[in-house]
Amino acid sequence: MLKKLVGIFVALLLVGFCEVSANDSSSGGGSTTVEITGQVVDTETFRGISSASISLLVRNSRGAYSYLAWTSSDTRGRFAFSQDYDGNSLQAGTYRLEAYAEKYYLGIVEFDAAGGTTTQVVAMQSMAVTLECEAPRLIPSKGGNVSWECWVKNDGSETLMLITTATLSAQSGRGLYFLTEAGVKTSRLKKGEGKKLTFRVKVSPDIPDSSYVCLNVQTSGLSADIDLVGQDPLVTSGACAQKGVKDSGGGGGGKG
């Protein structure tokens, strides 16, 4: 009888311990689930940047970052993360946001998230570049070496390293004749500084007269301070002239 009573007492103690443990585990410390919201903005206008590509990275125990999720900003530059690529909820940790947008430098924010909702602002600086090109007055019927002139200017607020690439194309009513590389120019320009670029290209005599021969130019950039290559062209331009027709050239310009 005594053994039976002792057994019942021990059983009651174990049940009570389990209940206390369960209550402690459910109420202690709160949830570590994280939701990350924010906005991508222009550093000068403070307006939201729409259609920016935003990557979320998390830091591991070795201090290295790995990509966790991706999204794009809405028309007001807003974004939100609550899950990773596999649909798992985000947990407390150290995170990094990387925002990419055409004609902007990369925007980066690093922060700790302990749980709940954290809101971040990713500020991005625009890369302002002007590019204008002018066609030659005459492309001879016999072809030969012909020069196009372009002017590139840094209208931004910091020194830029600019990479300008050009391709040459020729087209008539019968279609596109050829497309070939015409050269690459690298320029280091301070704020407000401009530079003249000359592309000298050999035009084939086989291209029929009156065909439009065009130099297609684009400038990409990397900041001399942060050493970041622009993923997309900052600005594009072009200039065309009709082969064998004097003063038929036209120019184009663009501003990034």
Q: How confident is the model at residue 251 (pLDDT cuts 50, 70, 90)?
A: low
The whole-number average pLDDT for the span 55-79 is 94
The residue among 65 and 229 whose pLDDT is bigger is 65
Q: How confident is the model at residue 174 (pLDDT cuts 50, 70, 90)?
A: low
Helices (H), 28-174: none
Position 247 pLDDT exceeds 80: yes
117: tokens are: 């909702």
Give the pLDDT score at 245.
92
Among the residue ranges 130-134, 175-179, 180-184, 226-230, the one predicted with the least confidence is: 226-230
In this structure, are residues 92 and 29 in contact, taking their beta carbons and an 8 Å threshold? no
CA pseudo-torsion sign 224, 226, 232, 234: negative
Place of tokens 């209208």: 155
Range 33-124 classified under CATH 2.40.110.10: no
54: tokens are: 């935003």
Give the pLDDT score at 87.
94
Domain with CATH 2.60.40.3880 in the chain: 129-255
CA separation (Å) from 147 to 205, 237, 238? Answer: 16, 16, 13
Q: How far apart are CA 107 and CA 162, in angstroms?
A: 19
pTM: 0.53
CA separation (Å) from 37 to 58, 120, 155? Answer: 15, 6, 32
The residue among 246 and 28 whose pLDDT is bigger is 246
Position 253 pLDDT exceeds 80: no
Place of tokens 């550093």: 43
In this structure, are residues 192 and 130 in contact, taking their beta carbons and an 8 Å threshold? no
223: tokens are: 């900041």
Q: How far apart are CA 145 and CA 222, in angstroms?
A: 31
| CATH class of the region 129-255 | mainly beta
- Judged by DSSP in three states, 26 sits in helix
Residues 6+ apart with CB under 8 A from 105: 124, 125, 126, 127, 223, 226, 228
Q: How confident is the model at residue 250 (pLDDT cuts 50, 70, 90)?
A: low
Percent of the chain exceeding pLDDT 70 equals: 77
Q: How far apart are CA 11 and CA 76, in angstroms?
A: 61
Give the pLDDT score at 230.
44
Closest CA to 34 of 97, 98, 99, 112: 112
Give the pLDDT score at 1.
44
β-pair type (65-72, 144-154): unpaired
Among the residue ranges 29-38, 57-66, 69-78, 207-216, the one predicted with the least confidence is: 29-38
- Read off the pLDDT of residues 101-157 as tens digits, 9 standing for 90 and up: 877 878 999 999 998 999 999 999 887 788 899 999 999 999 999 999 999 998 877
Give the pLDDT score at 17.
31
Domain with CATH 2.60.40.180 in the chain: 33-124
The residue among 227 and 72 whose pLDDT is bigger is 72
- Read off the pLDDT of residues 17-58 as tens digits, 9 standing for 90 and up: 333 333 333 333 446 899 999 999 999 889 999 999 999 999
How does the average pLDDT of the chain come out, rounded?
81
116: tokens are: 């709940």
The alpha carbon of 256 is separated from its chain's Cα centroid by a whole number of angstroms, namely 14
- Judged by DSSP in three states, 135 sits in coil
Give the pLDDT score at 2.
36
